[in-house]
Amino acid sequence: MGMLHQILQWIGDETYLLHLLQEFPTIALLGIIAVCILLLAKGADWMIDGVVELACRTGLPRIVIGATIISLGTTMPEAFVSVMAAWMGNPGLALGNGVGSIIADTGLIFGLTCMLTVIPMNRFILNRTGWVQVGSATLLVGIALAVLIWMEGEPVLSRWVGVLFLLLLGGYLYMTYTWAKQGAEKDMDKGRTGTTGSIGLGLCWLMIIGGLLIIVTSARVLVPAASEIAQRIGVPDDVVAATMVAFGTSLPELMTAIASVRKGHPEIMVGNIVGADVLNCFFVIGAAAAAKPLMVPPNFYLFHFPAMLLILYLFRFFIFINKDGHFRRWQGGWLFGVYVLYLFLQYGFNLSGKP
């Protein structure tokens, strides 16, 4: 039990991990960061190769695998940290984890990637999962507004909200699979290079799961190591906290995006971003609320919820107007610009995700 407790503390308690890394000299921390970056790149490569082979063998579109399997893997650490935060009495962190990740995934990662390369768009899938992406966030804000209006005292997302979100998660995963089968003949993967089917199904899963584990573990160590170095060179604590938390929660999705684009499969990145947004609502926030009711701090109503809805409805609007099967670079610029404005206002007015 003692070993299990230490493992859970290592995964869920940022302070515990920071304390361990404080014992290392700066040169050792730099070495740890370099190794983590290499492992992140290699893990992402293995995962993307596994996804491509799995798509070839099963006939599932790569965008769907990105929206389900990969998104579940990349959001699992955030769900665990959010549940731990809720149990330890920090609902702002639990809620901020989910909302902040949606904003960072769509604005920073998708926006920046869209500015740098042409992103294809599977309209059949995105016209369905894209509405779930927007709808899940709208439902979250709607429930939060309802409890603000009708609940006496502090607004709270009760356990029934968490259970509802987890049930909706199951429905989303099932419907995504159904939509993939219905739209198989419209799949954009057909005719694309890179699907060879040269390795077995078991090895495909080993590459995907192993790559995900390497990405998640490396990100878990890299972020506090970088935070410790930043503090040693005099970067203010509040800047380190806000920057590294945002960077850390989005790092798995960022590495997935880089690897998928570099290997010529950007549709995996699109699926991962859309799926991660849905899971951050239904899985990350849902699991945390089911574990312990979440209080909603006032700054979420004034700042974080409006920013999240703005960036998601912009993304939804771009899907609607793109009739020729790909996103435009200027659209990525708009999304990235909203994210930069969000960060600027957050720093300028000290609007963190904590109460």
- Distance from C-alpha of 61 to C-alpha of 271, rounded to nearest angstrom: 10
Task: Please report, for residues 118, 120, 131, the alpha-carbon distance to residue 328 in angstroms, rounded to integers and kept in the order given.
Answer: 7, 10, 20
Burial annotation 287-305 (CB, 10 A radius, 16+ → b, else e): bbbbbbbbbbbebbeebbb
Q: What's the confidence (pLDDT) of residue 355?
A: 39
Q: Are 156 and 296 spatial neighbours (Cβ–Cβ below 8 Å)?
A: yes
Per CATH, the homologous superfamily of domain 62-192+235-348 is: NCX, central ion-binding region (1.20.1420.30)
Q: What's the confidence (pLDDT) of residue 15?
A: 65
Entry pTM = 0.76
* Three-state secondary-structure class, residue 199: coil
Domain ranges of the chain: 62-192+235-348
Angle between helices 2-12 and 71-87 (to 10 degrees): 110
193: burial class by Cβ within 10 Å (0-12, 13-18, 19+)? Answer: exposed
Task: Please report, for residues 55, 120, 151, 255, the alpha-carbon distance to residue 216 in angstroms, rounded to integers and kept in the order given.
Answer: 23, 27, 38, 10
The pLDDT tens digits of the residues spanning 296-347 come to 888 889 888 999 999 999 999 998 888 888 899 999 999 999 999 988 887 7
| pLDDT(34) > 80 | yes
- Distance from C-alpha of 41 to C-alpha of 49, rounded to nearest angstrom: 12
- Distance from C-alpha of 45 to C-alpha of 115, rounded to nearest angstrom: 22
Query: Which are the contacts of 173, defined by CB distance < 8 A and separation ≥ 6?
Result: 68
Q: How far is CA 254 from the centre of its chain?
A: 9
The pLDDT tens digits of the residues spanning 172-212 come to 888 877 776 665 545 444 444 444 556 677 888 888 888 87
| pLDDT(282) > 60 | yes
The pLDDT tens digits of the residues spanning 247-262 come to 666 777 777 788 887 7
